[in-house]
Amino acid sequence: MNYQFDWNLVLSGQYGQWIIDGVKMTLHISAVSIVFTLLLGTIVAVMRMSKFKPFEWFSFAFVEFFRNTPLLIQIFFWYFGSYSILPDSVNEWLYDHDFEFAAGVISLTVYTAAFVAEEIRAGINSIPKNQLEASRATGLSFLQAYRYVILPQAFRIIIPPLISQSLNLIKNSSLVMTIGVMDLTYMARQIESYTFHGFEAFTVATLIYLAISLIVSFTINAYNKHFLLQIKY
């Protein structure tokens, strides 16, 4: 075995900067996608709970379609096929503003939102139905009742599964390197191509993903415990 490990090569100089740039891109695309995922997932969940059949059917179809198709296929669809269904003006704007990044955000958002919508729906179902009825009796509309009464309670209940889905999104973001998004995985692959030190490059990338996941999980769990204590006392 003549392989010579060179960790300094990966962690310093130009290649070290590539790793840093990759981490920044991973955090950027993950943060943007998580925000849109929560918004879209909430909308889909509320539509699923409404009594308006077209909304209910649409949300059901959305969840089943995106939850049961591979994420990689969805990434390729939005990158290679979105120009066929989007208006030309939208396509031109996307190509002028980092189309790869936009396609990655869209694919990560719609895929993860399908799972988040089900988590939110489960949280809503765990709340006694008389709370919604009481809210409506006080004069609140359906949307106002959900905004001020139902959803705040539901989100407190589903914090753990939301953490899990957020971590899954961060890890799944590594797939956007297939469409040219220069995230951490992309940079590790570039370093391997230039230096043939793939073991070091991907070991560093793996440890960074692990560190990000542990930090996010610990931070949100700590906040959740603090928040619950405040409510209790």
Look up the domain containing 211 and give its range.
7-232
162 located within any domain: yes
The DSSP secondary structure of 120-141, one letter per residue, reads HHHHHHTS-HHHHHHHHHTT--
Based on the structure, what is the number of domains in the chain? 1
Instruction: Report the C-alpha gap between 58 and 55 in whole angstroms.
Output: 5
Contact assessment for residue 25 and residue 160, using Cβ atoms and an 8 Å cutoff: no
139 located within any domain: yes
One digit per residue, the tens of pLDDT, for the chain of length 233 reads 567 788 888 888 899 999 999 999 999 999 999 999 999 999 999 999 888 899 999 999 999 999 999 999 999 998 988 777 777 777 777 777 788 999 999 999 999 999 999 999 999 998 888 888 888 888 888 888 888 889 988 988 888 889 889 999 999 999 999 999 999 999 999 999 998 888 999 999 999 999 999 998 888 777 777 665 454 43
143 located within any domain: yes
Instruction: Report the C-alpha gap between 14 and 7 in whole angstroms.
Output: 13
Q: CB under 8 Å to 188, separation ≥6 — which residues?
A: 19, 22, 201, 202, 204, 205
pTM: 0.88
Q: CB under 8 Å to 35, separation ≥6 — which residues?
A: none
2 located within any domain: no
44 located within any domain: yes
169 located within any domain: yes
Looking at residue 54, which CATH number applies to its domain?
1.10.3720.10
228 located within any domain: yes
1 located within any domain: no
Contact assessment for residue 45 and residue 59, using Cβ atoms and an 8 Å cutoff: yes
Q: CB under 8 Å to 227, separation ≥6 — which residues?
A: 156
Instruction: Enter the tokens of residue 210.
Output: 């692990």
Predicted pLDDT of residue 109: 97
Instruction: Report the C-alpha gap between 225 and 47 in whole angstroms.
Output: 30
Contact assessment for residue 197 and residue 9, using Cβ atoms and an 8 Å cutoff: yes
